[in-house]
Amino acid sequence: MSRLKGRVTLATVADTAGVSVATVSKVLNGRSDVAPATRARVQEILERHGYVGRRPNPVQRDTVELFYQGVVNAYSVEVIQGVVEAGQAAGVDVILNAHPRHPRTSNVGRAARWIRELIGNRRRAAIGITSELSAADLAALSRARLPLVVVDPMNIAQPDVTSVGSTNFAGGMAATQYLLSLGHRRIGYVGGPPTSGCNQARMSGFRSAMEAVGATVPAEHIWLQDFLYDDGLAGGCALLDLPDRPSAIFAGSDEVALGILEAARARGLRVPEDLSVVGFDDTEVARLASPPLTTVKQPLREMGAVALRTALQLAAGEKVASHHVELATSLIIRGSAAPIHISSVAAS
């Protein structure tokens, strides 16, 4: 039988097969009330003539809003990947909404519009990454009964906000203890925003380790801005230009550490011979750095996955074991830190 010319319709298929249009429709929709021989004849004609019908209405899948404030970087990519992979496993679509970080205000109207959009788009839950939420945002989410989970919230954790993070205090202490074990005592810290909960915890771990050995931390050895490369560069320049510059710096993120490496290079300082640097996160950039970066590993993909699973639990009305989940960190030793150099000792 030759191929039909022109646009193939249900009617032309039905006429060629000698059946009704309703029968062809039943075959297309997988109905069982069609004789096997008739079904085979209709399917053969459909395939031979390349019939393409109208797309069936897609099954409505559950969706979760994933919003991120700030520049998408190596850290956020890892967390986003964890959320997306967990969403795929759970049969949930993840919708990413990334926008620049801006000061949050208690704008009730703006918060209400945002929540209406989420509800209108049939979101089951919302997940934020390093996001700073206003009281108006939280109130609107609560009124809408839309579950929220935040990964590494920028503002201090609140008891009514479910969050996922890592053992930042323990990670900060481990990084500093490692530098202390290498003989360093003048250790600086270049980290993120002062109001960031994860930054405060990392810096507290740093201070605790320093105090335990009686090492002082001059105010000028602390630089707090953000977790990005340019902040590390600015902070590194400030600390390395001091008369009593640190012999080692603990960076609040891998990107900050890369900025410090550049500040050291520009000043003719070798890493780790003249300056030891330890980062935080263990993103891909840590492995690609020169030298490869010693850093505190956060299980970033797992943090994203836990956030997604927790959000779905809340959306299903289930209770969660804790409103704040901390996953374990670990120190990854590579090539950016070494025992204190003799020249650094002489300069002290």
Give the contacts of 320 (CB within 8 A, at least 6 positions apart): 162, 310, 313, 314
Q: Which portions of the chain are predicted below pLDDT 70?
A: 1-8, 30, 49-60, 99-112, 114-115, 131-135, 155-159, 342-348
pLDDT at 34: 83
Q: Number of H helices and number of E strands within the chain? A: 13, 12
Q: Hey, is 51 helix, strand or coil?
A: coil
Tell me the per-residue pLDDT of 73-120, one tens digit each, with 9 for 90 and over: 899 999 999 999 999 999 999 988 876 544 444 455 566 676 677 777
Give the contacts of 49 (CB within 8 A, at least 6 positions apart): 3, 4, 8, 13, 16
168-299+331-347 shares the fold of 1-57: no
For residue 138, give both structure tokens: 């939280």
Which CATH code is given to the segment(s) 168-299+331-347?
Answer: 3.40.50.2300
What does the alpha-carbon distance between residue 275 and residue 260 come to, in Å, rounded to a whole number?
10
Q: Domain 1-57: which topology?
A: 434 Repressor (Amino-terminal Domain) (1.10.260)
For residue 320, give both structure tokens: 């969660």
Which CATH code is given to the segment(s) 63-166+300-326?
Answer: 3.40.50.2300
pLDDT at 51: 66
Chain-centroid distance of CA 241 in Å reads 34
Backbone angles phi, psi at 208, to 5 degrees: -60, -45
pLDDT at 165: 93
What does the alpha-carbon distance between residue 309 and residue 210 come to, in Å, rounded to a whole number?
37
- Where do the domains of the chain lie? 1-57, 63-166+300-326, 168-299+331-347
User: Among 126, 142, 135, which Cα is nearest to 108's?
Assistant: 135
pTM equals: 0.77
Burial 86-102 (b: 16+ CB within 10 A, else e): bbeeeebebeeeeeeee
pLDDT at 347: 44
